[in-house]
Amino acid sequence: MTLIVQKYGGTSVGTLERIRAVAERVSASRAQGNDVVVVVSAMAGETNRLLGLGKELSKRPSEREMDSLVATGEQVSAALLAIALSERGVPARSLVGHQTRIFTDGVYTKARIRTIDDAPFRSTINAGAVPVVAGFQGVDAEGNITTLGRGGSDTTGVAIAAALKADVCEIYTDVDGIFTTDPNICKEARKLDRITFEEMLELASLGAKVLQIRSVEIAMKYGIPIHLRSSFSDSQGTIVGAEDKSLESVVVTGVACDKNDVKVTMRELPDKPGIVARVFGSLADNNISVDMIIQTEPRGGKADLTFTVTHSDLARTKDVTERVAREIGAGEVKLHDDVAKVSIVGAGMRSHSGVAAKMFRMLADQKINIQAITTSEIRVSCLIDKKEADQAVRTLHNGFGLG
């Protein structure tokens, strides 16, 4: 018996008609002899509507309350899908956080899953019913409702697949798969049939927006293949899996572009040991992830520090850095969101040199200024002016022959 976890995103359950279509797809998969566990996101637009209500009442609403507020979106779509399945003759039971016993840490709005009890799933399946899980949410040890951050339903799906040792986690969305770059920016973009976990991790973290990064980490850790595909067609999507040693790796698999970065510059930090650790320690204490870091050479005992954070952390970053700046006697703090991070990714970079230099040359030929660079084994990223981002993506996509 094949066990499949199917996760449906917001557009896939965006209307009652779409929910009926999902019920049909689940029913068809069951008819093929598969055991199916379903995970759903909130109906498209619902999470933003709820966030909007909370933010209208308070500029800094309690994160605990915001989690309890937005978690209702998935609870609604899970109940509706369970009703639609029963209507098709497929017994189904919706499950929310405290019922699935998906226990998380207590970090509201971006909680991490600690444990999943497979019993509620097994007992539902053994009773002949389809568990329909409200994605994106869990409960902490005290029973508080937590959410896993934007796209967290992907993580719910993959984590459940790992806990149940499922054969595959199918992630249904409104695109046909992973593309070599964003087709909205570059019309030559091409769908990939396969991509490695590592490549996907780099792409996800770089703003390809297709899969939540943590879901890929969990899939890689537990060896669960992800089949990313469209719920609007029957065509095959992209398999995200382990590296296929028999094939020579492509040097560059894709080009990613992330426009959600904010560049933070702290002026005139005292050039003393421990100052930088103090800054990043305070950010870490507030669960703010820092990406690119540039530190200038100190002059006259003072140095400038520049780094990037994601846009959703902007308000808290401003608070934390201004407070730390006062405490350590640094100068002003400036935040700029007119930047973009353009990246090339490919497992083949491990065995090929000169890829980064080629990238810098291409951007220089277009007179695009590079403000910062970061690299990993299989990725090179450049921070550039946001206005030049689309041009850079097209240049790199064509330059590396991805069309």
Interaction site with a second copy (CB under 8 A):
16, 19-20, 50, 53-54, 56-58, 61-62, 64-66, 68-69, 71-72, 75-76, 78-80, 82-84, 86-87, 93-94, 96, 98-99, 139, 143-145
Query: In this complex, which beta carbon is closest to a second copy, that of residue 66 or of residue 204?
Result: 66
DSSP state of 248: P
How many Cβ atoms sit within 10 Å of the Cβ of residue 179? 22
Minimum Å distance from CB 126 to a second copy?
15
Residue type present at position 41: S
Please give the Cα distance from 234 to 36 (Å, whole number).
Answer: 17
Please give the Cα distance from 395 to 221 (Å, whole number).
Answer: 34
Q: Tell me how far CA of residue 370 lies from CA of 78, 378, 386, in angstroms.
A: 46, 19, 11
Minimum Å distance from CB 26 to a second copy?
14
Please give the Cα distance from 50 to 35 (Å, whole number).
Answer: 33
Q: Say whether 204 sits in a helix, a strand or coil.
A: helix
Minimum Å distance from CB 403 to a second copy?
44
Minimum Å distance from CB 143 to a second copy?
5
Minimum Å distance from CB 55 to a second copy?
9
CA-nearest of 380, 301, 389, 305 to 340 is 389
Query: In this complex, which beta carbon is closest to a second copy, that of residue 71 or of residue 252?
Result: 71
Residue type present at position 160: I
Query: In this complex, which beta carbon is closest to a second copy, that of residue 57 or of residue 247?
Result: 57
Query: In this complex, which beta carbon is closest to a second copy, that of residue 75 or of residue 321?
Result: 75
Query: In this complex, which beta carbon is closest to a second copy, that of residue 66 or of residue 160?
Result: 66
Torsion of CA 23, 26, 30, 35, to 10 degrees: -130
Query: In this complex, which beta carbon is closest to a second copy, that of residue 70 or of residue 228?
Result: 70
Please give the Cα distance from 151 to 210 (Å, whole number).
Answer: 9
Query: In this complex, which beta carbon is closest to a second copy, that of residue 1 or of residue 57?
Result: 57
Query: In this complex, which beta carbon is closest to a second copy, that of residue 94 or of residue 253?
Result: 94
Query: In this complex, which beta carbon is closest to a second copy, that of residue 73 or of residue 241?
Result: 73
Minimum Å distance from CB 17 to a second copy?
10
Q: Say whether 14 sits in a helix, a strand or coil.
A: coil
Q: Tell me phi and psi for residue 97, to 5 degrees.
A: -45, -55
Question: On the CB side of 123, how many CA atoms lie within 13 Å of its CA?
Answer: 7
Going by their DSSP bridges, the two strands 168-173 and 226-230 should be labelled as parallel
Query: In this complex, which beta carbon is closest to a second copy, that of residue 19 or of residue 283?
Result: 19
Please give the Cα distance from 294 to 283 (Å, whole number).
Answer: 16
Minimum Å distance from CB 331 to a second copy?
33
CA-nearest of 396, 255, 259 to 339 is 259
Minimum Å distance from CB 86 to a second copy?
5
Q: Tell me phi and psi for residue 395, to 5 degrees.
A: -60, -45
Please give the Cα distance from 74 to 271 (Å, whole number).
Answer: 49
Minimum Å distance from CB 58 to a second copy?
4
Minimum Å distance from CB 152 to a second copy?
18
Which residue has tokens 């904010």?
262
DSSP state of 349: G
Going by their DSSP bridges, the two strands 339-345 and 379-385 should be labelled as antiparallel
